Amino acid sequence: MSEIKTFKFDSKNFDEIRAYKFGTNWPVVYLIEDGKEIYVGETVNAYQRSKQHLENAARARLKRIHIIGDEEYNKSATLDTESWLIQYMSAEEKFVLQNGNRGLKNHSYFDREKYRAKFERTWQKLKEMAIVQKDLVQIRNSDIFKYSPYKALTQDQMLVVRKIVKHLILQKEHTFIINGKPGTGKTILAVYLIKYLKEREETKHLNVALVVPMTSLRKTIQKVFRKVSGLSSSMVIGPNDVTSKQYDLLIVDEAHRLRRRVNITNFRSFDTTNKKLGFTNEGTELDWVLRSAKNHILFYDKNQSVRPSDIPHARFDALEATHFELESQLRVEGGEEYVTFIDNLFDTAVQNKIAIKNYDFKLYTNIVQMVEDIKQKDKEFGLSRMVAGYAWNWNTKRGGEYDIDIDGLKLTWNSSASDWVNSPNALNEVGCIHTVQGYDLNYTGVIIGPEIFYNKEIRKICVSPQKYKDINGKRSVSDPEELTRYVINIYKTLMTRGIKGTYVYIVDRDLREYIESQLV
């Protein structure tokens, strides 16, 4: 059983640590704090490590050391516990964290779930001791936890970091494209990289910014950067902001949402920026990024391009760049198998029926029941929301009482465009693609509207342009196949927002029967 022993962090008390049963020659995790600042570490010799920390000026001003010991601890378990403590304490915001974010890495080891359970009990003890204040669930649902730079990286993420940092240290100007499906940690890695670069002696001088094309997600990440030591909200910018100065490195999250001059609302401003940078009106936001920095990291997923204004993937393919692929599924508990199934499902390319494992996936014939179930999941886990494809007019913008009517159930679109998932009335509304792309939810209730249907004769999912109501999403699109691809990408994105589960109501009966037929 884990225990927590507290000592004064003072050289006069180090003999007490040496005499403690877990004080020497045993793997432990420890916290050094003074009520305002904290350092989290792990070691196999708490006595020697304490003496070393006292020689560090930042650490020397701290007052107490709490040693977390357990007779079942091993090196892997303490490394993992240290990582979890850093992630949760940085997001709780009670302390200013003295730790950097180097070297936090996800790895598997024997009985890992047992040590995860031990960590949760340890957190409860820390709460009882008033060292921490919030519950783990409360922290887990916060934006600062979801987008924290203190995340443990997967092997493929860490490989990307090492190779990119090596290029930057050698001052080799370059473009990197990091491809990844939904939930592979593209945004997490982008945020991690900026914090990591700002801590290294060799790279902290670099002028770096994170470009986030989507306004709602940009504002959310700006809030997070405001609360993290060493970062500032000014480091998170929009595509238009890149033109204000030259950067050493621009990191673009959701690069598939960079725009070209098609179906946008601000042609004049777009043209002015092109002219300022020496481009014709054919210049794109991708061109602006490439022109405004020596190095570029583009996080990209062609299957999340959902509007004609998005730059075609052929433009990214044509870049002279080093490509990386993120494979590990970090969001959806159903894992890569579920995400691949959703891809194949909408492309009518499922080879074999699937039994979805370790994931709460349900199809509904009763929309009222699905809404009730999502609200129940919100009570249990928080961050459970209804979302839908753009198959209904936005009547409430023009004074209407509701937007969506399905079997007599009347619903409204999202009343907030900025950070909708956290807005006060979100649980009673339906979010569109532009409010949830880039966000994680615990449970997602997806309404698949009448604009998308299954054609039994050709065995293919099709789209009815007349029933697709996003004017900017279809204006100037003359190719029905192109529009179909955009709409299918919207639903692929919506169906991969939920961490714990996805509930689905489908208006078109044939489409519902097709999806049911692909499940065991």
DSSP 342-383: HHHHHTT---S-B---SSEEEEES-HHHHHHHHHHHHHHHS-
Backbone angles phi, psi at 192, to 5 degrees: -55, -45
Q: What is the pLDDT of residues 152-206, one digit of tens each?
A: 888 889 999 999 999 999 888 899 999 998 888 999 999 999 999 999 999 999 9
| DSSP summary character for residue 207 | -
pTM: 0.79
- pLDDT of 124 strictly over 90: yes
Q: What is the pLDDT of residues 324-357, one digit of tens each?
A: 999 887 788 988 889 889 988 998 888 788 889 8
- pLDDT of 476 strictly over 70: no
Q: What is the pLDDT of residues 221-243, one digit of tens each?
A: 999 999 888 899 999 999 999 99
pLDDT at 364: 97
pLDDT at 103: 64
pLDDT at 222: 95
- pLDDT of 102 strictly over 80: no
Please choose, from the candidates 314, 333, 313, the residue with its C-alpha nearest in 3D space to the C-alpha of residue 444: 333
Distances, alpha carbon 70 to alpha carbons 81, 288, 304, in Å: 12, 54, 46
Average pLDDT, the chain: 92
pLDDT at 101: 83
Give pairs for 414-421: CB < 8 Å, separation 24+: 417/215, 417/216, 418/215, 418/216, 418/219, 419/143, 419/216, 419/219, 419/220, 420/216, 421/383, 421/385
Compute the average pLDDT of residues 108-132: 90
Are residues 390 and 376 in contact, defined by beta-carbon separation less than 8 angstroms? Answer: no
Q: What is the pLDDT of residues 19-63, one digit of tens each?
A: 999 999 999 999 999 999 999 999 999 999 999 999 999 999 999
Whole-angstrom distance, CA of residue 449 vs CA of residue 454: 12
Whole-angstrom distance, CA of residue 81 vs CA of residue 493: 33
pLDDT at 153: 87
Compute the average pLDDT of residues 103-125: 83
Whole-angstrom distance, CA of residue 336 vs CA of residue 339: 5
Whole-angstrom distance, CA of residue 360 vs CA of residue 328: 20
